[in-house]
């Protein structure tokens, strides 16, 4: 019987709410808050998994990493959890280390050269693929292969190709009468070799993002420019490139963050060698933490955090530039 | 993402200019939204960086705990064993042996195989979380690190009898007068040679007894149009491992890297590369890639370990093995490879009694023979070594090499060894790649090692 009395109950409540607006302003507000409360809970419920995820997998590791870098961890204190707090000692140690200068420089060269070539070649290919021709989609899909390959596969392949004695690259050089280059084993070439491999791997990403950016530029703009008598190059420089700027900026930023932390390619191809010639901050951080029989977690974490700071700085610069453009 | 809203707004019947205007409007709106979203993207991506920054490892045990956790959850009946032999699955003789030892001790064994480079950190993290395995089988140079961290029990505490093991092998697990485990087997380095190549070059392998005769042999091989020797000088522990027989064979000591003897050893390698007796690729060779070079059949010699014996038989050319010669003749002490069986510290010390039974079972004479045959190792006791040679005369040279071998952490170096090894492999790479002459490279290495081990 209870059931019967309860069922009709909601409609009147709903009725009251429906009618509420007619009763004036106060009624509206009360009705709105009452109606919103369950909605708000639902919103929080939807948000919770994301927040928990972010806390568990981003905030906590970040916090742990910062904490690791501020304490003097030895294997003993790591196990016992009683590492003394040493402030910025690990950072000082890392910055004063003889490896720091070269590693930073290698990181800069590796990142800048990679980005310039990835972006230029990616954009050129994207322009090429805006034309419609037979098999263009198939060809574009093929260009994605480097991106889809697991890095261990592509890096190993590169290191075989660049092998001093049995690599195909030196075989080709030899066939055309050039002296072989010690791609991976000469301190002068190792950094260039890993950069070349990284450029090859990064082109598809630039191609895909820039291609979709180009698709988004309305054809009318091009038509208008054409009517005004702009030729191919001018049209690219004055119309396409400026309209592509937001997409280019995000492509470069994502590329930058990705390239800064590149580790697998270098580790597989040269292990950061020979004698540190291709060591970047990312590989150095790994080597400090895991590359030795005796792990140095503190300094390793410090180098990792420096990398995060560098990426963050560029992210903030990007946001600032975007905001200025947005208000201009 | 940027494309969609504009496309929808586009219609033929709408004039060109308004359409563009609307797009610009939408774009700026879009852009503002994007800017807001970007803060999140940057943070997220930067957070992703930590995953690669080599130090978020502290969080790993959450995901890796089950094996260790089981030891606590299941209590008395189940004992966990971690080993660095992931190549063996449950159907292998090795895992069956673990099961048998468990049955004999009246418990169930839960075994997990890890990659050997992974195992040190896994063991440290497990100790930090208080869920160490009951028995840990770990690479010998790591024993002193784990012992110093207080992760391992000494054999006095757990009453493990180590008297049968060869003292030179046991030394790698000894630090400060205590022993922290028992070797399960040993491997080391020697020189494989290709009989066909030597024959063609007119070299007699038995005549290679010191550095001079080896270099002369390499010269002849090169003159005959073949390649001399391949080894691994990669910038990791493997590089130091391969260089040590030459370093120790010159009479040098790890406490003084830039001694004239040490410089002589590095000069030997450097000259080989310079003169083309060894390929330039040695700088990047792991022991596996170095073996692949030898397996092409072009090389006369290869410095490699016991574990390649099975591959040598498959190589398709007749091969022989000689010990690595010391500078002025005799067998050079090569570093020992191979693992120790140890018992990590537990909160519940009552567990040690069963763990001791498991360790003793694994190290017993009969099981040792089976295990070391499976692993392609040389046994740690003379009794079993003799049996191995009886079964397979090929192993004689290896047994001798193991007898002459020396633990990397021996000489009471312990946890100082890794701090010396890293400058050493760096110096090797610098000299071989030509960026520094051997003397200078080793002097720099000595400075680095001295400041690191202070």
The phi-psi region of residue B105 (left if phi > 0; otherwise alpha if psi is between -120 and 50; otherwise beta) is alpha
Report the residue of chain B nearest A217, measured CA to CA: B3
Tokens of A157: 């392949």
Total beta-carbon pairs less than 8 A apart between chain A and chain B: 240
Torsion of CA B142, B144, B148, B152, to 10 degrees: 80
At residue B91, the pLDDT reads 87
d(CA B58, CA A83): 14
| A55-64, A218-227, B59-68: least confident range | B59-68
At residue A32, the pLDDT reads 53
Contact criterion met (CB < 8 Å) for B50 and A286: no
At residue B85, the pLDDT reads 87
Contact criterion met (CB < 8 Å) for B50 and A62: yes
Query: In terms of Cα–Cα distance, which of A110, A156, A89, A282 is closest to B50?
Result: A282
CA A282 to chain B, closest CA, distance in angstroms equals: 7
Question: What is the percent of chain A where pLDDT is above 90?
Answer: 43
Contact criterion met (CB < 8 Å) for A308 and B53: yes
**Taking CB atoms and an 8 Å cutoff, what residues of chain B touch A325?**
31
B47-53 mean pLDDT: 41
* pLDDT bucket at B157, cuts 50 / 70 / 90: confident
Architecture in CATH of A100-278: Orthogonal Bundle (1.10)
The per-residue DSSP string of B161-195 comes to --TTB-HHHHGGGEETTEE--EE--BB-EEEEEEH
Task: Point out the residue among B2, B44, B59 whose CB comes nearest to the CB of A247.
Answer: B2
For residue B73, is pLDDT > 80? no
At residue A276, the pLDDT reads 86
At residue A34, the pLDDT reads 54
For residue A188, is pLDDT > 60? yes
* pLDDT bucket at B57, cuts 50 / 70 / 90: very low
As to burial, measured by CB atoms within 10 angstroms (0-12 exposed, 13-18 middle, 19+ buried), residue A1 is exposed
Query: In Å, what is the CA distance from A38 to each residue of A8, A20, A43, A45?
Result: 21, 19, 9, 10
At residue B40, the pLDDT reads 44
d(CA B68, CA B62): 11
Helix, strand, coil share (%) of chain A residues, nearest 5: 75, 0, 25
Calculate helix-pair angle for A190-215, A136-143, nearest 10 degrees.
Answer: 140
| A2-11, A239-248, B252-261, B334-343: least confident range | A2-11
Q: What's the CATH code, domain B189-334+415-452?
A: 3.40.190.10
ipTM given for this complex: 0.74
d(CA B418, CA B117): 14
For residue B332, is pLDDT > 90? yes
Task: Point out the residue among B16, B56, B151 whose CB comes nearest to the CB of A65.
Answer: B56
B322-327 mean pLDDT: 93
CA B40 to chain A, closest CA, distance in angstroms equals: 10
The more confidently predicted of residues A114 and B175 is: A114
Specify whether the CB–CB gap between B60 and B120 falls below 8 A: no
- Angle (nearest 5°) at CA B371 between B370 and B373: 65
Specify whether the CB–CB gap between B435 and A185 falls below 8 A: no
At residue A33, the pLDDT reads 55
Domains of chain A: which residue ranges?
100-278
Query: In terms of Cα–Cα distance, which of A156, A108, A54 is closest to B48?
Result: A54
Specify whether the CB–CB gap between B310 and B376 falls below 8 A: yes
Contact criterion met (CB < 8 Å) for A271 and B417: no
Task: Point out the residue among A159, A271, A301 whose CB comes nearest to the CB of B53.
Answer: A301
CA A232 to chain B, closest CA, distance in angstroms equals: 21
For residue A172, what are the contacts with CB-CB under 8 A and spacing of at least 6?
none
Report the residue of chain B nearest A81, measured CA to CA: B128
A118-133 mean pLDDT: 90
d(CA B207, CA B210): 9
d(CA A262, CA A284): 11
At residue A31, the pLDDT reads 52
Domains of chain B: which residue ranges?
68-186+337-404, 189-334+415-452
d(CA B314, CA B290): 16
For residue B8, is pLDDT > 60? no
* pLDDT bucket at A27, cuts 50 / 70 / 90: low
Specify whether the CB–CB gap between A72 and A91 falls below 8 A: no
- What backbone torsions phi and psi does residue B152 show, to the nearest 5 degrees? -110, 150
Contact criterion met (CB < 8 Å) for A304 and B55: yes
A219-258 pLDDT tens trace: 888 888 888 887 888 888 888 888 898 899 999 999 998 9
* pLDDT bucket at B21, cuts 50 / 70 / 90: very low
CA A219 to chain B, closest CA, distance in angstroms equals: 11
Helix, strand, coil share (%) of chain B residues, nearest 5: 60, 15, 30
Q: Which A residues in the span 222-241 are in contact with B, Cβ-Cβ below 8 Å?
A: 224
Q: Which A residues in the span 99-158 are in contact with B, Cβ-Cβ below 8 Å?
A: none
| A22-31, B113-122, B218-227: least confident range | A22-31
At residue A28, the pLDDT reads 53
For residue A260, is pLDDT > 60? yes
Maximum Cα–Cα distance for chain A, whole Å?
A: 100
For residue A72, is pLDDT > 50? yes
Instruction: Write out the E strands in B223-298.
Output: 227-230
**Taking CB atoms and an 8 Å cutoff, what residues of chain A touch B54?**
285-290, 300-301, 303-304
**DSSP H/E element including B37:** helix B16-52
Query: In Å, what is the CA distance from B75 to each residue of B68, B69, B72, B358, B442?
Result: 11, 10, 5, 16, 52
Tokens of B229: 């020797």
For residue B48, is pLDDT > 50? no
The more confidently predicted of residues B310 and B232 is: B232
DSSP bridge partners of B305: B189
* pLDDT bucket at A328, cuts 50 / 70 / 90: low
For the entire predicted model, the pTM comes to 0.77
Q: Which A residues in the span 164-223 are in contact with B, Cβ-Cβ below 8 Å?
A: 164-166, 182, 184-187, 212-213, 215-216, 218, 220-221
**Taking CB atoms and an 8 Å cutoff, what residues of chain A touch B3?**
212-213, 215-216
Query: In terms of Cα–Cα distance, which of B245, B250, B236, B262 is closest to B191?
Result: B245
- Residue B330 has a CB neighbour count (10 Å cut-off) of 13
d(CA A87, CA A85): 6
At residue B58, the pLDDT reads 35
Architecture in CATH of B68-186+337-404: 3-Layer(aba) Sandwich (3.40)
For residue B45, is pLDDT > 70? no
Query: In Å, what is the CA distance from A58 to each residue of A51, B49, B59?
Result: 10, 10, 11
């Amino acid at each position: 019987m209870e059931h019967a009395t309860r069922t009709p109950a909601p409609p009147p409540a709903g009725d009251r709410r429906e009618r509420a607006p007619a009763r004036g302003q106060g009624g509206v507000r009360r009705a709105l808050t009452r109606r919103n409360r369950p909605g708000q809970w639902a919103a929080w419920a939807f948000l919770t998994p994301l927040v928990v995820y972010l806390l568990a997998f981003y905030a906590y590791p970040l916090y742990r990493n910062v904490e690791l870098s501020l304490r003097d961890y030895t294997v003993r204190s790591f196990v016992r959890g009683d590492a003394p707090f040493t402030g910025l000692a690990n950072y000082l140690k890392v910055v004063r280390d003889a490896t720091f200068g070269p590693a930073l420089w290698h990181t800069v060269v590796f990142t800048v050269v990679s980005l310039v070539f990835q972006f230029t070649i990616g954009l050129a290919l994207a322009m090429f693929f805006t034309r419609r021709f037979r098999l263009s989609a198939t060809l574009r899909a093929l260009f994605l292969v480097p991106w889809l390959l697991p890095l261990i596969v592509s890096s190993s392949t590169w290191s075989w190709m660049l092998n001093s004695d049995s690599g195909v690259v030196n075989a080709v050089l030899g066939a055309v009468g050039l002296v072989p280059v010690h791609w991976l084993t000469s301190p002068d070439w190792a950094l260039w070799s890993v950069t070349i491999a990284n450029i090859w791997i990064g082109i598809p990403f630039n191609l895909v993002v820039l291609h979709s950016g180009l698709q988004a530029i309305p054809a009318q703009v091009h038509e208008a420019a054409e009517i005004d008598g702009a030729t191919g190059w001018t049209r690219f420089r004055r119309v396409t490139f400026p309209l592509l700027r937001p997409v280019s900026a995000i492509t470069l930023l994502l590329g930058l963050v990705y390239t800064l932390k590149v580790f697998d390619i270098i580790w597989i191809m040269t292990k950061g060698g020979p004698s540190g010639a291709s060591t970047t901050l990312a590989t150095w951080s790994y080597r400090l933490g895991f590359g030795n029989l005796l792990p140095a977690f503190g300094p390793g974490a410090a180098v990792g955090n420096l990398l995060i700071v560098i990426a963050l700085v560029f992210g903030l610069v990007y946001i600032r530039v975007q905001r200025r453009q947005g208000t201009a | 993402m940027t494309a969609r809203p504009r496309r929808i707004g586009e219609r033929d019947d709408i004039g060109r200019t308004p359409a563009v205007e609307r797009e610009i409007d939408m774009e700026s709106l879009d852009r503002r939204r994007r800017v807001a979203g970007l803060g999140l993207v940057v943070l997220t991506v930067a957070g992703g960086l930590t995953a690669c920054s080599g130090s978020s490892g502290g969080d790993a045990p959450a995901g890796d705990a089950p094996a260790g956790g089981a030891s606590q959850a299941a209590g008395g009946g189940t004992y966990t064993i971690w080993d660095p032999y992931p190549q063996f699955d449950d159907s292998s003789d090795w895992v069956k042996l673990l099961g048998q030892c468990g049955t004999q001790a009246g418990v169930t064994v839960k075994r997990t195989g890890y990659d050997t480079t992974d195992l040190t950190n896994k063991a440290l993290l497990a100790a930090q979380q208080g869920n160490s395995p009951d028995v840990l089988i770990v690479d010998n140079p790591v024993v002193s690190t784990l012992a110093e961290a207080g992760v391992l029990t000494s054999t006095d505490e757990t009453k493990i009898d180590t008297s049968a093991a060869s003292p030179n092998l046991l030394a790698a697990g000894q630090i400060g007068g205590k022993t922290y485990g028992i070797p399960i087997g040993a491997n080391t380095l020697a020189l494989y040679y290709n009989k066909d190549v030597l024959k063609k070059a007119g070299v007699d392998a038995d005549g290679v007894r010191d550095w001079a005769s080896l270099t002369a042999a390499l010269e002849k091989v090169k003159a005959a149009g073949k390649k001399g020797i391949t080894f691994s000088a990669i910038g990791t522990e493997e590089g130091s491992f391969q260089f040590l027989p030459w370093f120790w064979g010159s009479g040098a000591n790890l406490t003084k890297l830039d001694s004239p003897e040490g410089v002589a050893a590095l000069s030997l390698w450097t000259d080989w590369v310079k003169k083309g007796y060894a390929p330039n690729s040695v700088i990047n060779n792991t022991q596996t890639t170095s073996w692949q070079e030898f397996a092409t059949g072009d090389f006369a010699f290869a410095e490699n370990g016991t574990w390649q014996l099975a591959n040598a038989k498959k190589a398709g050319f007749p091969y022989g093995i000689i010990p690595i010669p010391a500078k002025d003749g005799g067998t050079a002490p090569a570093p020992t490879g191979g693992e120790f069986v140890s018992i990590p510290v537990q909160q519940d010390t009552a567990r040690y009694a069963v763990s001791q039974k498991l360790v003793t079972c694994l190290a017993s004479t009969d099981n040792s023979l089976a295990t070391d045959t499976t692993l392609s190792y040389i046994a740690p006791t003379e009794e079993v070594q003799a049996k191995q040679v009886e079964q397979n005369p090929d192993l004689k040279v290896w047994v001798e090499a193991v007898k002459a071998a020396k633990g990397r952490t021996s000489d009471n170096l312990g946890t100082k060894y890794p701090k010396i090894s890293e400058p050493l492999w760096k110096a090797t790479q610098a000299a071989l790649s030509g960026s520094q002459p051997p003397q200078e490279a080793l002097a720099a290495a000595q400075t680095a090692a001295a400041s690191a081990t202070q």
